[in-house]
């Protein structure tokens, strides 16, 4: 079956929803999302949104902090745009109904995070993302020009690859094949404009702050379709997630360090002063590597984040979710330090876009974590991600509307999905353990500190798995698990390939064979 619209949006996080709400002013929007409409990385964001709203702050300072964290690879024009358009983006979120925490009427309660030289994080207590999702989903549901398809998973983008008559210049995207998970049928969602907003890749790693949806689908689909992807070696590990067998890498927000919590080794000694002048509030790559180093040096499993010296009532009211979550594991953060470890958190690279969200494929635009706009360089500054999603989705609306007006009515005939000759996935059990194997290989060999021989080992093993998965995919009726496994495999190999190409250490990519930064040869993006 075919379902057509003026704009197709894939993903219902902050990028997809904010794009949809604006595109709906011009035409009909279909938004597909693979779980329920709020399930996204956005929904779990804690710290907040970095934005210049205080008289003590300036655009210049936010730009400088972003460039400094990005270790020489940020694109200055993209950063400038992010920072200058940030306040407008935050105002728009408020117009859609997002309620941020205030110190008093009309004054944001600003927090601070690693790498920021001043307090500039607007937030909704420690549940910023949930508040953003709540408001944007409600606004999208109320908009008659937007139709949301929950439990609909994009399988692949529709491009020349799917046409019988392939006579076209360049590569074009006309929508996506989408699996209706309930009915187990693949539909053809057609549109002259496709906005990819599928988020991150955390599930490629064994330990991650990301929810189950973060399987790199957008990067894998775009790459398969022929789009350029870049800077995938820059996987960001968040320094502080709760160390507890049942906690599933629950994030302990960096804003807690901004509030005064201090990192210590198990024997109660501080250590961050030995690594960076900003101590516990150094950029994230520095803190994660310092923790990794302390753990290896001391043969210990976790470090401590100590907030016990801080005002107890203040802690409870500013961090109610963290407080309650830790309490559910019998840990009162006002009385005891929190055991923490790093976990995979964010991908700085992604599908290459220009400043208006255009990818290298005609008709395919991207925004949010799936995109590589040039803002984050080799290391994202804390709380710049939600900001990037909202600012660059706005830019993309302008780009897409222009493209749509020029090309509407030119959709080609696209064959419907065929699963002829495939069988039901009874043999699923044979490859279901592949996901865990990839996650473990990535964690052990492609983690915070890398080495060429380890990368090669991971690459060889994952290549074998990739072949197995691809064979299985060709023969089997598609399921949600199989689509995700295929994408995880593709993205894992892309991360390794990017990491092997960069023969220096920079930002989040630290490799023992090349421990120094080499600006002469490597101050450039890794484009695949
Ligand atoms: P997401 O919010 O991840 O949305 C992606 C959407 O795409 C989801 O709806 C998903 O279901 C859907 N999707 C994926 N694949 C498919 C498919 N094949 N078919 C259909 N739908 C699909 N950043 C900050 O700036 N500040 C913070 O305080 C902050 N805290 C964070 C805390 C946590 C625990 C995590 C995990 C991240 C945090 N980040 C933070 C990062 C930030 O939340 C994300 O980078 C950002 O929300 C990404 O938004 P997005 O819209 O691009 O993607
Ligand atoms: C956090 O709250 O520590 C996460 C912030 C971010 O990822 O930007």
Tens of pLDDT, residue by residue over 278-290, are 999 998 999 999 9
Residue 93: pLDDT over 90: yes
Ligand 1 closest atom vs CA 371 = 52
Residues 300 and 401 occupy one common structural domain: no
On the 0-12 / 13-18 / 19+ scale of CB atoms within 10 A, 229 is buried
* Segments in 251-283 forming alpha helices (H): 254-258
pLDDT, tens digit (0-9, with 9 covering 90-100), for 507-527: 999 999 999 999 999 999 999
Q: Are residues 326 and 216 in the same domain?
A: no
Residue 169 has a pLDDT of 74
- The strand order across the sheet containing 262-264 reads 235-242, 338-347, 303-306, 262-264
Q: Residue 269 maps to which CATH number? A: 3.90.700.10
Q: For 127-143, how does the pLDDT look when each residue is reduced to its tens digit (9 = 90+)? A: 999 999 999 999 999 99
Q: Whose CA is nearest to atom 43 of ligand 1?
A: 42
Same domain? 439 vs 509: yes
208 found inside a domain: yes
Residues 283, 392 within the same domain:
no
- Number of domains the chain contains: 3
Give the pLDDT score at 420. Answer: 76
**Ligand nearest, relative to CA of residue 258:** 2
Element (DSSP H or E) covering residue 305 = strand 303-306
Q: What are phi and psi of 57, to 5 degrees?
A: -105, 170
pLDDT surpasses 80 at 427? no
480 C-alpha vs ligand 2 centroid, how far in Å? 29
In a domain, 114, yes or no: yes
For 437-468, the pLDDT digits (tens) are 999 999 999 999 999 999 999 999 999 999 99
| Rg of the chain over all Cα atoms, to the nearest angstrom | 22
Find out whether the beta carbon of 154 lies less than 6 Å from any atom of ligand 1: yes
End-of-domain residue from the set 286, 310, 342: 342
Query: pLDDT at position 143, please?
Result: 98
| CATH at 163 | 3.50.50.60
Same domain? For 217 and 284 the reply is: no
Final residue in a domain of this structure, among 342, 357, 379: 342
Q: Do 328 and 437 fall within a single domain? A: no
Distance 163 CA to ligand 1 centre (A): 32
| pLDDT, tens digit, 9 for 90 and up, residues 334-378 | 999 999 999 999 999 999 999 999 999 999 999 999 999 999 999
Looking at the fold, whether 334 and 364 belong to one and the same domain comes out as: no
With cut-offs at 50, 70 and 90, classify the pLDDT of residue 409: confident
43 lies in the same domain as 99: yes
Condensed to tens digits (0 to 9), the pLDDT of residues 465-483 reads 999 999 889 888 899 999 9
Name the closest ligand to CA 220. 1
The mean pLDDT value for 484-505 works out to 98
254 C-alpha vs ligand 2 centroid, how far in Å? 6
| Assigned domain for 528 exists | no
pLDDT (tens digit per residue) in 153-183:
999 999 988 876 666 678 999 999 999 999 9
pLDDT digits (tens, 9 = 90+) for 383-393: 999 999 999 99
Largest CA distance in the chain: 69
Residue 366 sits in the same domain as residue 466: no
- Taking 70 as the threshold, does the pLDDT of residue 426 lie above it? no
Asked whether residue 419 is assigned to any structural domain, the reply reads no
Q: What are phi and psi of 357, to 5 degrees?
A: 80, 5
Extended beta strands in 338-386, E state: 338-347, 350-352, 364-366, 371-372
**417 within a domain of the structure (yes/no):** no
- For residue 251, report the distance from its CA to the centre of ligand 2, in Å: 8
Please tell me whether residues 379 and 448 are part of one structural domain: no
If asked whether residues 353 and 449 sit together in one domain, one would say no
Answer whether residue 431 shows pLDDT above 80: no
State the residue range of the domain holding 491.
428-522
The answer to whether the CB of 221 is under 6 A from ligand 1 is no
Query: ∠374-140-361 over CA atoms, to 5°?
Result: 35
- 305 within domain boundaries: yes
Give the number of the atom of ligand 1 that is nearest the alpha carbon of residue 221.
Answer: 18
Instruction: State the CATH number of the domain containing residue 438.
Output: 1.20.58.100
CA distance 467 to 462: 9
Nearest to 27 by CA among 51, 2, 8: 8
Enumerate the β-bridge partners of residue 153: 179
Last residue of a domain, one of 342, 372, 395: 342
Task: Determine if ligand 1 sits within 6 Å of the CB of residue 366.
Answer: no
Q: Are residues 134 and 278 in the same domain?
A: no
In a domain, 284, yes or no: yes
pTM for this predicted structure: 0.96
Pairing outcome for strands 107-108 and 102-104: antiparallel
pLDDT at 418: 85
Ligand nearest to the backbone CA of 82: 1
- Tell me, using a 6 A CB cutoff, whether residue 199 lines ligand 1: yes
| Structural domain contains residue 192 | yes
């Amino acid at each position: 079956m075919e379902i057509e619209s003026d704009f197709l949006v894939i993903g219902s996080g902050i990028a997809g929803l904010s794009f949809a709400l604006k595109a709906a002013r011009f035409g009909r929007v279909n938004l597909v999302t693979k779980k329920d409409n709020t399930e996204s990385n956005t929904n779990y964001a804690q710290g907040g949104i970095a934005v210049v709203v205080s008289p003590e702050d300036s655009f210049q300072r936010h730009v400088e902090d972003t460039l400094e964290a990005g270790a020489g690879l940020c694109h200055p024009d993209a950063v400038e745009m992010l920072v200058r358009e940030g306040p407008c983006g935050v105002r728009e979120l408020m117009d859609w109904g997002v309620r941020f925490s205030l110190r008093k009427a009309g004054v944001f309660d600003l927090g601070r995070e690693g790498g920021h030289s001043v307090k500039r994080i607007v937030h909704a207590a420690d549940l910023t993302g949930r508040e953003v999702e709540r408001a944007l989903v409600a606004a999208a549901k109320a908009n008659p020009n937007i139709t949301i398809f929950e439990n609909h998973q994009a399988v692949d983008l529709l491009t020349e690859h799917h046409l019988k008559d392939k006579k076209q210049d360049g590569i074009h995207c006309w929508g996506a094949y989408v699996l209706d998970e309930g009915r187990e049928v693949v539909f053809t969602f057609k549109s002259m404009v496709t906005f990819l907003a599928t988020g991150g890749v955390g599930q490629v790693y064994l330990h991650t702050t990301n929810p189950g949806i973060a399987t790199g689908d957008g990067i894998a689909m775009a790459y398969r379709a022929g789009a350029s992807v870049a800077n995938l070696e820059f996987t960001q590990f968040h320094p502080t997630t709760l160390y507890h067998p049942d906690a599933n890498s629950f994030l302990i927000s960096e804003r807690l360090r901004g509030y005064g919590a201090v990192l210590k080794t198990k024997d109660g000694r501080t250590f961050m002063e030995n690594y960076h002048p900003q101590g516990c509030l150094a950029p994230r790559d520095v803190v994660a590597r310092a923790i990794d180093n302390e753990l290896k040096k001391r043969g210990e499993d976790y470090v401590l984040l100590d907030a016990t010296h801080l005002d107890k009532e203040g802690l409870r009211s500013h961090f109610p979710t963290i407080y309650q979550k830790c309490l559910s594991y019998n840990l009162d953060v006002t009385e005891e330090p929190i055991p923490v470890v790093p976990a995979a958190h964010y991908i700085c690279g992604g599908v290459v876009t220009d400043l208006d969200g255009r990818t290298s494929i005609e008709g395919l635009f991207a925004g949010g974590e799936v995109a590589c706009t040039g803002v984050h360089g080799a290391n994202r500054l804390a709380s710049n991600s939600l900001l990037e999603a909202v600012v660059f989705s706005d830019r993309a609306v302008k780009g897409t509307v222009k493209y749509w007006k020029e090309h509407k009515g030119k959709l080609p005939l696209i064959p419907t999905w065929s699963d002829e000759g495939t069988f039901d996935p009874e043999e699923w059990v044979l490859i279901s353990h592949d996901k865990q194997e990839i996650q473990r290989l990535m964690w052990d060999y492609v983690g915070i500190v890398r080495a060429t021989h380890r990368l090669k080992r991971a690459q060889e093993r994952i290549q074998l798995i990739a072949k197995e998965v691809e064979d299985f995919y060709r023969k089997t009726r598609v399921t949600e698990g199989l689509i995700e496994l295929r994408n995880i495999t593709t993205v894992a190999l892309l991360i390794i390939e990017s990491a092997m190409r960069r023969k220096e250490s920079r930002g989040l990519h630290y490799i023992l064979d090349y421990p120094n930064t080499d600006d002469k040869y490597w101050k450039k993006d890794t484009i695949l």
